[in-house]
Amino acid sequence: MKIFSFLALLAMPFVGYAQQKVFNITDYGAKADGITNNTASIQKAIDNANAQGGGIVHVPAGKFLTGVINLKSNVTLNLAANAVLLGSAKRIDYGEGHASPLIFAKDQQHIGITGKGTIDGNGDELLKDLFAMLKAGKLRDSLWQRTNPWGQVQPEEPNRPKLIGFYNCAGIQVKGITIQNGLVWIQDYRECRDMVIDSIKVISNTYWNNDGIDLVDCKNVKLTNSFFNADDDGICLKSSNRNSCCENIYVANCTIRSSASGIKFGTASWGGFKKITMKDIKIYDTYRSAIALECVDGGVMEDIDISNINAVNTGNAIFIRLGHRNKDTVVSKINGIRIRNVTVDVPKGKPDKGYPMEGPEVKGSHNPFPSSIAGLPGHPVQNVTLQNIKIVYHGNASKAVAHVSLDSLSKVPENPRDYPEFSMFGELPAWGFYARHAAGVNFKNVTLSCAGQDFRAACVFEDINGLTLNSLKIPQVKSLPVIALFGVTKSLMQNVQVPGSAKNKVLTK
């Protein structure tokens, strides 16, 4: 896999602080009392820095209340240690229509947010004012009186401000800061290029839809050494433009906790995802999947390399889905996925239980869900390699709860247009791994362990053209057959390790 040189990013025209002019916001009248609205003062410092060819807008220690500020070309917003940019608790300060992000930039170049300080969205107080405006009829919102899966009302996402929103910008550095207490996506980078994000801390479990970071159709990105505690997906790549994609993205040395998925590509996947590397990531207490790769809107997912992932107390290990939600005839493509050096521990209970915003319980009766690869008839997921993978399942299964026999696999729905999620097919006939509609599936040194009781086969492969199981280890035999092959062509099984005799361990139809 070829990844662009990050030396190019590091050589972007950000000169050292000592060589740049500093614009201290207090020189423009900003007051660190947590009460005064400093929007005009901060914006004037940014405008002056931009007008003079660039510089550093410095936020000293203290709590500075602000509304929306527009970051401009060649300006770095620097937050000192113990500095807090506190978002306004008045919803009107983010605009009368769709809420603007707290820190906004569009069509700008060479911009940054750095330092040891904090951007605080003031989410709890802002939410009170948001509901007051909705009740007074001062905002349009079609959802706020409806009940969400948690049994509470939830305003539409456009009515909730993001904390950082950069659109069509190039040459971005975000380093060292803490970002917290938002009401929706914390960071939205959309069609941005040449980005370095390093050593940030995101705490985003104040409300729903609080992704830790979203890279939407971004190119040439390096994200490293960061921490995410998210109510929704932790690190999320999306594609909303059929003519663009996420491309040349490198993520390493991060820690993620999520009430959704830790690493997620999708759900928005119109253009796709190309040349993505993710490595050395710790995931814990995550409700949905440790790794969720979803291409369901007509995009292309290819050349994906994910490695060195350690996930504990996580609801699902690996979920790869090719779907067709888009209404046109363009069908998504997935080709070239490599996942290696991964350990996942799937608990018996709910992994995010006790967090401020838990993921919703899966509706209906079901047994624990396996990892899965799922394409569509005639549109297979192609060339997936799983290497050095260890997954341990602690849950129990019972036929009294749900049962899909190996003689009735047609009962597992295709659901091509449904929202992609590891639970989207309902009860599945395997406890370890379920794959169907795929081509070129390669297992190399994969261990699937079931610490609980389960009546199902360990692995079920259906409609697979080219299946290699090399050093597949299943230490505990719960039932026979252990591996079931249905409509599998060009299969090769080498050194498959299952306790006891080989009789009846593999069912082929």
366-386 confidence digits (pLDDT tens)? 999 999 999 999 999 999 999
Helix (H) or strand (E) run with residue 128 in it: helix 123-135
* pLDDT tens readout for residues 162-207: 999 999 999 999 999 999 999 999 999 999 999 999 999 999 998 8
| Mean of pLDDT values over 469-492 | 94
The length of the chain is 509
| Mean of pLDDT values over 210-227 | 98
Contacts (Cβ under 8 Å, ≥6 apart) of 440 = 382, 383, 384, 465, 466
Give the percent of the chain with pLDDT over 70: 95
Q: What is the pLDDT of residue 13?
A: 44
505 versus 197: the higher-pLDDT residue is 197
Model confidence band, residue 16 (pLDDT cutoffs 50, 70, 90): very low
- Cα–Cα dist 278/450, whole Å: 27
Q: What is the pLDDT of residue 314?
A: 97
pLDDT over threshold 50, residue 452: yes
C-beta of residue 457 within 8 angstroms of C-beta of residue 474: no
3-class state of residue 360 by DSSP:
coil
pLDDT over threshold 70, residue 501: no
pLDDT over threshold 60, residue 343: yes
Output the pTM of the full model.
Answer: 0.95
Q: What is the pLDDT of residue 149?
A: 67
C-beta of residue 234 within 8 angstroms of C-beta of residue 212: yes
Q: What is the pLDDT of residue 189?
A: 98
- Cα–Cα dist 443/340, whole Å: 10
Question: Which amino acid type is present at position 311?
Answer: A
- Cα–Cα dist 140/108, whole Å: 30
CA dihedral over 360, 363, 366, 369, signed as positive or negative: negative
Q: What is the pLDDT of residue 10?
A: 44
N-to-C CA span, the chain: 36
- Cα–Cα dist 345/476, whole Å: 16
The tally of CA atoms less than 13 A away on the side-chain side of residue 87 is 34
- Cα–Cα dist 283/187, whole Å: 20
pLDDT over threshold 90, residue 2: no
- Cα–Cα dist 116/363, whole Å: 43
The tally of CA atoms less than 13 A away on the side-chain side of residue 220 is 17
Q: What is the DSSP string of 449-493?
A: EE-S---SEEEEEEEEEEEEEEEEE-----SS-SEEEEEEEEEEE
Model confidence band, residue 499 (pLDDT cutoffs 50, 70, 90): confident
**Least confident window among 23-27, 109-113, 329-333, 479-483:** 479-483
C-beta of residue 95 within 8 angstroms of C-beta of residue 130: no
pLDDT over threshold 90, residue 357: no
| Mean of pLDDT values over 445-449 | 97
Nearest to 334 by CA among 440, 423, 220: 440
Question: Which amino acid type is present at position 28?
Answer: Y
Q: What is the pLDDT of residue 402?
A: 96
R_g of the chain computed on alpha carbons: 24
Q: What is the pLDDT of residue 509?
A: 85
CB atoms within 10 A of CB 399: 10
| Mean of pLDDT values over 99-125 | 98
| Mean of pLDDT values over 483-508 | 88
Chain center to CA of 50: 34
Contacts (Cβ under 8 Å, ≥6 apart) of 451 = 392, 393, 394, 476
Residue linked to tokens 């960071």: 187
pLDDT over threshold 90, residue 364: no
% helix, strand, coil for the chain, step of 5 = 10, 50, 40
- Cα–Cα dist 391/368, whole Å: 13
pLDDT over threshold 60, residue 6: no
3-class state of residue 66 by DSSP:
strand
| Mean of pLDDT values over 227-247 | 97
3-class state of residue 396 by DSSP:
coil
Model confidence band, residue 363 (pLDDT cutoffs 50, 70, 90): confident
Model confidence band, residue 27 (pLDDT cutoffs 50, 70, 90): very high
C-beta of residue 179 within 8 angstroms of C-beta of residue 119: yes
- Cα–Cα dist 249/263, whole Å: 13
- The residues facing 202 across adjacent strands are 179, 228
Give the percent of the chain with pLDDT over 90: 86
C-beta of residue 391 within 8 angstroms of C-beta of residue 316: no
Q: What is the pLDDT of residue 150?
A: 65
* pLDDT tens readout for residues 395-444: 999 999 999 999 999 999 999 999 999 999 999 999 999 999 999 999 99
pLDDT over threshold 60, residue 141: yes
